[in-house]
């Protein structure tokens, strides 16, 4: 475990050298200068090209407009929710995709009217002497400006530039699809008269002149058709805020380059909202009136039949005598029948509604539950929601073409429908009890009637039927009158306070001074952040000073970057600075072995913190320098989890250490000779399920002893000590351990692990090799491989020749200066 002393390693990293950081910033002054030039140039170009941005606004009030004809006896309910709920609904609706799709489609704002400016096209909506009447069912050219040049008051030249592509994209706004249309390369030109239909594979419209167009002969204009969904997405960004002083007041604002377009959109979005909201309020009344009309037709026939039956019975009979003594019972039965009819109507409504919900998908024509005397707020509210959803879905069909969006909306409707079916089931269970009770009362009254004379019973039966039909008919007539009054008197809950209007002003930008200030800040901040990131946030090891500050373990050698395709850098270029760095490590190891009085075979283990630090690369080249000195050398691949040692020698990893350790092969059978004289390789073999157990087995000890009899140097290529414990198990066999640290890869915190292992004695005779080193100081020569050799590299070693990258050339010039 780490003890308190280990934390001193991390404290050293946190000592911030402000002076050094300041000097480093100064050394990058050209970065700051270059960045400032770039940012100021960008700011200047933005300022001269940026169009003027305007802001327009409007304000509305959301009221709780209760219909003045609603009374305590009015049984039609069209309003639900308070003002606060309506305000939130209005805000969500104004920013919704469906609402904005409808407004964009109504205004045809997916079509731009343009004039060519010095740097870009300018939006001149509302300023052109003409307007375009497109055919939405046919294709329109997508995204390419179409030039219209008036030759005279009645003729114009239509021009469209096409590149070498054989096809262009077109929009079909009615179907919401994009299609490819074949065209001829070059500029298409054709004369048309005003009002003539342009019928082309990629354009279909009529050009008509506005009233009072002014002089326009010789002028050039452009029209452009944009993506419908892209246009809607832009207008969905409309700002909608609640007034802080009045929660029912909503303010709308929109920004853009054309004030006329902003004004029209703001006013139209409110008008569409008002219309839809009023239609929503009236939908209940419309459905109720339609339901009542159909019911009255049926009831009228029943009433006539019962009236005729009563007249026929009264002929030639003394009605007054027959009625004597039964008036009270008749009145009581009539009341019971009316009460039963009310319950029956509710049950029938529930049954019809349940069946309708299960069989139909269009709920826009559902009648109000109150028609049947149902006043359950849950049922009334959910029926109202379904009607509203159906209306919205039918409106979506005009603009939304994505089936996915319809599916999402249908899922919401289905959830409401399931809740409503649960409400119906609960309500029916309660009302059936009421039906049973009223039937019992009717049965008791009818038993009393049976005691009367037969003709008197018949009269009471016919009268009872007539009175019931008459009462039902009058009730429905009353409800229809109420529905007509409610529908006629409904007003929208949304009213304008201020319509959007161009009264001059409204300019929001561009603010050129802000852009230049921003350029100054960014020009300083960007390189400053880069330098700070390089200096402070980089936690990788870059120099020997970093290692010496973090650990007391000695550095035995420094290895530069390789520029060979394979890892056989020493064998392929034996006189290179890179090869000499490995020879230097070999010399240091010889001194270490002599100091420790190691005789006979020397065993060297190489490990690292994690993968990718060059452990295998160093193992191969250390073994090569021993072999080139005519010492019998073998590399043993003991990274049993990720074997890699075999690829550079063009040998197979079919058999190896694992086969020996499990007793399948002998030493002679697993040793493979290489093309390097005196150098053999033992690969790891197949990946075992228990690598750690194999490495601590007696077979491992036996293999080491056998190899000592055959070789002068044994190089153990092990797994990273920072990830697994395999290397620790092998340390007992080694005379020396090389811990590979790679410049720019190994993290400083990783050295805490090797410090801990070294202090505990788990890794002994350990030294550090700095791999992949590139000296970036201003005093370096060559490419960084001359560490410790100075100018003698040109005389005694081959020069590493490679093409410098552009960045390295720039750095070289900066360092030389």
Per-residue pLDDT tens digits for 424-454: 888 877 788 877 787 777 776 666 666 555 5
For the cut 60, the answer to whether the pLDDT of residue 20 exceeds it is: no
For the cut 70, the answer to whether the pLDDT of residue 157 exceeds it is: yes
In the sheet that holds 167-172, the strands lie side by side as: 140-141, 167-172, 177-182
Q: How far apart are CA 302 and CA 509, in angstroms?
A: 74
pLDDT, tens digit (0-9, with 9 covering 90-100), for 382-402: 787 777 777 677 666 555 556
Alpha carbon 377 to chain centroid distance? 39
Burial of 610 (0-12, 13-18, 19+ CB in 10 A): middle
Print the SS3 string covering 178-200.
EEEEECCCEEEEEEEECCCEEEC
Q: Per the domain annotation, does 791 fall within a domain?
A: yes
Q: Per the domain annotation, does 741 fall within a domain?
A: yes
The encoded tokens of residue 637 equal 């691949």
Q: How many separate domains does the chain show?
A: 1
pLDDT of residue 378: 79
For residue 62, give Cα distances in angstroms to 65, 163, 268, 695. Answer: 9, 53, 17, 80
Q: How far apart are CA 480 and CA 291, in angstroms?
A: 9
Biggest CA–CA distance in the chain, Å, is 147
For the cut 60, the answer to whether the pLDDT of residue 374 exceeds it is: yes
pLDDT of residue 806: 58
Q: Torsions phi, psi of 348, nearest 5?
A: -60, -40
Contact 49, 120 (CB under 8 A): yes
Domain that holds residue 714: 554-816
Q: Per the domain annotation, does 643 fall within a domain?
A: yes
Beta carbons within 8 Å of 605's beta carbon, 6+ residues apart? 716, 718, 727, 730, 731, 733, 734, 736, 737, 738
Over range 584-599, report the average pLDDT.
89
Print the SS3 string covering 711-728.
CCEEEEECCCCCCCCHHH
The pLDDT-based confidence of 78 (bands split at 50, 70, 90) is very low
- H helices of 315-402, in order, are 319-323, 327-359, 377-396
Beta carbons within 8 Å of 688's beta carbon, 6+ residues apart? 640, 658, 662, 694
pLDDT of residue 444: 67
Q: Mean pLDDT: which of 46-50, 347-351, 556-560, 784-788 is highest? A: 556-560
pLDDT, tens digit (0-9, with 9 covering 90-100), for 158-204: 999 998 877 899 999 998 899 999 998 889 999 999 999 999 999 99
Alpha carbon 260 to chain centroid distance? 34
Beta carbons within 8 Å of 277's beta carbon, 6+ residues apart? 492, 493, 494
Over range 26-53, report the average pLDDT.
88
Q: How far apart are CA 395 and CA 364, in angstroms?
A: 12
Over range 78-83, report the average pLDDT.
41
- H helices of 242-326, in order, are 259-314, 319-323
Beta carbons within 8 Å of 610's beta carbon, 6+ residues apart? 720, 722, 723, 746, 750
pLDDT of residue 344: 79
For the cut 60, the answer to whether the pLDDT of residue 74 exceeds it is: no
Beta carbons within 8 Å of 85's beta carbon, 6+ residues apart? none
Contact 490, 78 (CB under 8 A): yes
The pLDDT-based confidence of 809 (bands split at 50, 70, 90) is low
Alpha carbon 182 to chain centroid distance? 35
For the cut 70, the answer to whether the pLDDT of residue 560 exceeds it is: yes
For the cut 50, the answer to whether the pLDDT of residue 75 exceeds it is: no
**What are 126's strand-pairing partners?**
none
Residue corresponding to tokens 């280990």: 6
Cα–Cα nearest to 496, from 34, 60, 25: 60
In the Cβ-directed half-sphere of 275, how many Cα atoms lie within 13 Å? Answer: 11
pLDDT of residue 34: 93
Cα–Cα nearest to 371, from 510, 535, 486: 486
Poorest-pLDDT segment among 50-59, 83-92, 135-144, 723-732:
83-92
pLDDT of residue 322: 45
Contact 551, 755 (CB under 8 A): yes
For the cut 80, the answer to whether the pLDDT of residue 272 exceeds it is: yes
For the cut 70, the answer to whether the pLDDT of residue 348 exceeds it is: yes
* Cis peptide bond N-terminal to 530, omega within 30: no
Q: Per the domain annotation, does 299 fall within a domain?
A: no
Q: Per the domain annotation, does 700 fall within a domain?
A: yes
Over range 291-313, report the average pLDDT.
70
Beta carbons within 8 Å of 87's beta carbon, 6+ residues apart? 62, 242, 247, 248, 250
pLDDT of residue 264: 95
Contact 149, 169 (CB under 8 A): no
pLDDT of residue 542: 79
pLDDT of residue 786: 37
Assign residue 726 the CATH number of its domain.
Answer: 3.40.50.300
Cα–Cα nearest to 25, from 525, 520, 518: 525
DSSP 8-state class, residue 122: E
Q: Per the domain annotation, does 285 fall within a domain?
A: no
Q: Per the domain annotation, does 244 fall within a domain?
A: no
Cα-trace Rg, the chain? 46
Secondary structure element (H or E) that encloses residue 222, with its range: strand 220-225
Q: Per the domain annotation, does 784 fall within a domain?
A: yes
Print the SS3 string covering 775-786.
CCCCCCCCCCCC
For the cut 50, the answer to whether the pLDDT of residue 718 exceeds it is: yes
Percent of the chain with pLDDT over 90: 35
Poorest-pLDDT segment among 223-237, 262-276, 301-315:
301-315
Tell me if residue 51 falls in helix, strand or coil.
coil
Pick 586 or 761 by higher pLDDT: 586
Poorest-pLDDT segment among 12-21, 460-469, 497-506:
12-21
Contact 605, 716 (CB under 8 A): yes
Q: How far apart are CA 312 and CA 305, in angstroms?
A: 11
Cα–Cα nearest to 282, from 134, 551, 65: 65
Pick 383 or 227 by higher pLDDT: 227
Cα–Cα nearest to 58, from 503, 377, 509: 503
pLDDT, tens digit (0-9, with 9 covering 90-100), for 447-477: 666 655 555 556 666 666 666 677 777 777 7
For the cut 80, the answer to whether the pLDDT of residue 601 exceeds it is: yes
For the cut 90, the answer to whether the pLDDT of residue 2 exceeds it is: no
pLDDT of residue 796: 44
pLDDT of residue 810: 60
Poorest-pLDDT segment among 2-11, 14-23, 284-293, 400-409:
2-11
């Amino acid at each position: 475990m780490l003890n308190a002393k280990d934390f001193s390693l991390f404290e050293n990293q946190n000592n911030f050298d402000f002076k050094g950081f300041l000097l480093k910033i100064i050394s990058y002054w050209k970065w700051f200068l270059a960045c400032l030039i770039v940012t100021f140039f960008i700011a200047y170009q933005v300022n001269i090209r940026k169009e003027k941005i305007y802001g327009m606004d409007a304000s509305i009030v959301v009221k709780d407009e209760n219909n003045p004809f609603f009374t305590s006896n009015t049984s039609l309910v069209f309003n639900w929710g308070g003002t606060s709920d309506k305000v939130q609904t209005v805000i969500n609706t104004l920013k919704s995709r469906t609402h904005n799709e409808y407004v964009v489609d109504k205004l045809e704002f997916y079509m731009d009217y343009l004039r060519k400016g010095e740097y870009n096209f300018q939006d001149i909506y509302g300023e052109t002497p003409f307007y375009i009447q497109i055919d939405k069912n046919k294709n329109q050219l997508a995204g390419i400006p179409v030039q219209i040049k008036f030759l005279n008051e009645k003729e114009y030249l239509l021009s469209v530039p096409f590149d070498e592509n054989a096809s262009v994209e077109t929009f079909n706004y009615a179907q919401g699809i994009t299609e490819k249309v074949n065209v001829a390369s070059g500029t298409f030109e054709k004369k048309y008269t005003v009002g003539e239909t342009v019928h082309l594979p990629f354009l279909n419209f009529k050009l008509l002149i506005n009233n009072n167009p002014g002089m326009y002969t010789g002028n050039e204009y452009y029209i452009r058709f944009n993506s419908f969904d892209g246009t809607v997405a832009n207008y969905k960004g409309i700002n909608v805020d609640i007034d802080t002083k009045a929660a029912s007041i909503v303010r709308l604002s929109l920004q853009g380059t054309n004030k006329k377009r902003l004004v029209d959109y703001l006013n139209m979005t409110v008008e569409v909202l008002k219309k839809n909201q009023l239609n929503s309020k009236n939908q209940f009344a419309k459905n109720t009136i339609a339901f009542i009309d159909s019911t009255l037709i049926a009831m009228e026939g029943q009433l006539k039949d019962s009236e005729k039956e009563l007249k026929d019975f009264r002929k030639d009979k003394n009605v007054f005598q027959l009625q004597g003594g039964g008036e009270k019972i008749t009145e009581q039965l009539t009341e019971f029948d009316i009460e039963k009819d009310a319950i029956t109507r509710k049950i029938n409504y529930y049954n019809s509604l349940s069946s309708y919900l299960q069989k139909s998908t269009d709920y826009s024509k559902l009648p109000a539950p109150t028609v049947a005397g149902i006043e359950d707020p849950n049922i009334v509210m959910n029926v109202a929601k379904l009607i509203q959803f159906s209306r919205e879905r039918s409106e979506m069909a005009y603009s939304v073409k994505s089936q996915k969006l319809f599916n999402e909306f249908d899922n919401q409707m289905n959830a409401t429908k399931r809740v409503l079916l649960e409400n119906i089931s609960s309500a029916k269970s309660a009302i059936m009890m009421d039906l049973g009770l009223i039937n019992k009362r009717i049965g008791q009254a009818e038993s009393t009637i049976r005691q009367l004379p037969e003709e008197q019973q018949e009269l009471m039966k016919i009268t009872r039927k007539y009175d019931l039909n008459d009462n039902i008919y009058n009730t429905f007539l009353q409800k229809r009158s109420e529905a007509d009054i409610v529908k006629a008197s409904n007003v929208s809950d949304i009213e304008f306070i201020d319509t959007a209007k161009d009264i001059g002003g409204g300019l929001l930008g561009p603010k050129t001074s802000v852009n230049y200030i921003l350029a100054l800040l960014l020009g300083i901040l960007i390189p400053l952040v880069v330098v700070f990131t390089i200096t402070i946030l980089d936690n990788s090891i870059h120099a020997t000073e970093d290692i010496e500050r973090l650990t007391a373990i000695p550095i035995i050698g420094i290895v530069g970057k390789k520029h060979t395709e394979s890892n056989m850098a020493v064998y392929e270029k034996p006189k290179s600075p890179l090869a000499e760095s490995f020879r230097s490590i070999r010399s240091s190891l010889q001194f270490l072995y002599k100091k420790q009085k190691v005789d006979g075979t020397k065993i060297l283990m190489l490990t690292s913190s994690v993968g990718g630090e060059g452990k295998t690369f160093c193992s191969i080249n250390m073994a090569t320098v021993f072999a080139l000195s005519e010492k019998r050398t073998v590399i043993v691949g003991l990274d049993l989890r990720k074997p890699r040692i075999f690829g550079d020698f063009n040998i197979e990893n079919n058999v190896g250490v694992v086969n020996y350790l499990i007793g399948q092969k002998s030493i002679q059978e697993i040793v493979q000779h290489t093309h390097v004289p005196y150098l053999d390789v033992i690969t790891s073999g197949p990946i075992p399920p228990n690598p750690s157990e194999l490495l601590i087995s007696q077979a491992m000890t036996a293999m080491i002893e056998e190899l000592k009899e055959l070789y002068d140097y044994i190089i153990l290529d092990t797994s990273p000590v920072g990830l697994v414990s395999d290397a620790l198990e092998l340390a007992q066999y080694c005379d020396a351990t090389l811990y590979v640290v790679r410049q720019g890869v190994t993290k400083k915190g990783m050295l805490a692990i090797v410090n801990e292992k070294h202090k505990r004695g788990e890794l002994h005779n350990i030294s550090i090799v700095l791999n992949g080193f590139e000296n970036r100081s201003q005093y370096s020569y060559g490419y960084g491989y001359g560490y410790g050799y100075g100018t003698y590299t040109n005389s005694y070693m081959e020069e590493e020749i490679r093409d410098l990258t552009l960045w390295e050339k720039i750095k070289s010039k900066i360092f030389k200066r």
